[in-house]
């Protein structure tokens, strides 16, 4: 699996699949599955059984995970970029390959 180039809190754009073009913030990273959950993207309807938390039950809409390969990180200007790593002042930092700025 190795190290991922994106982490929770990053703003990403979907570059492939049904939700191509939509943007959002990463809520959670599922490292073992190589997937992430992006805020407001890939919404699915889930049928919930009545429980102690929700005594009513019903149909709930929530975000489903999306493959990391279908996402691209956005720079501060809002353009997609690839991610690289470099050492800066003895620290390993991520940088945008397009604009060369530290993320």
Is residue 31 a part of any domain in this protein? Answer: yes
Is residue 4 a part of any domain in this protein? Answer: no
What is the predicted pLDDT for the residue at 87? 94
By residue range, what is the domain housing residue 63? 11-75
- Among 57, 53, 56, 19, which Cα is nearest to 39's? 19
- Among 47, 36, 43, which Cα is nearest to 12's? 36
The predicted-structure confidence for 68-91, as pLDDT tens digits, reads as follows 999 999 998 989 999 999 999 999
> For the CA atoms of the chain, what is the radius of gyration?
17
What is the predicted pLDDT for the residue at 91? 94
The predicted-structure confidence for 12-47, as pLDDT tens digits, reads as follows 999 999 999 999 999 999 999 999 999 999 999 999
- Among 66, 70, 73, 102, which Cα is nearest to 6's? 73
Residue 41 maps to which CATH number? Answer: 2.30.30.30
Is residue 37 a part of any domain in this protein? Answer: yes
**Overall number of domains in the chain:** 1
Q: How far is it, in rounded angstroms, from Cα 43 to Cα 88?
A: 39
Residue 40 backbone class (left: φ over 0; alpha: ψ -120 to 50; beta: rest): left
Q: Are 78 and 72 in contact (CB under 8 A)?
A: no
């Amino acid at each position: 699996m190795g190290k991922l180039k994106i982490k929770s809190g990053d703003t990403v754009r979907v570059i492939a699949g049904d939700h191509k073009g939509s943007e959002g913030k990463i809520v959670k990273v599922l490292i073992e599955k190589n997937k992430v959950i992006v805020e407001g993207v890939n919404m699915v309807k889930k049928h919930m059984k009545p429980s102690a938390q929700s005594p009513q039950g019903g149909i709930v809409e929530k975000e489903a995970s999306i493959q990391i390969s279908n996402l691209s990180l956005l720079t501060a200007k809002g353009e997609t970029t690839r991610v690289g790593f470099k050492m800066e002042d003895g620290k390993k930092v991520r940088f945008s390959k397009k604009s060369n700025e530290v993320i």
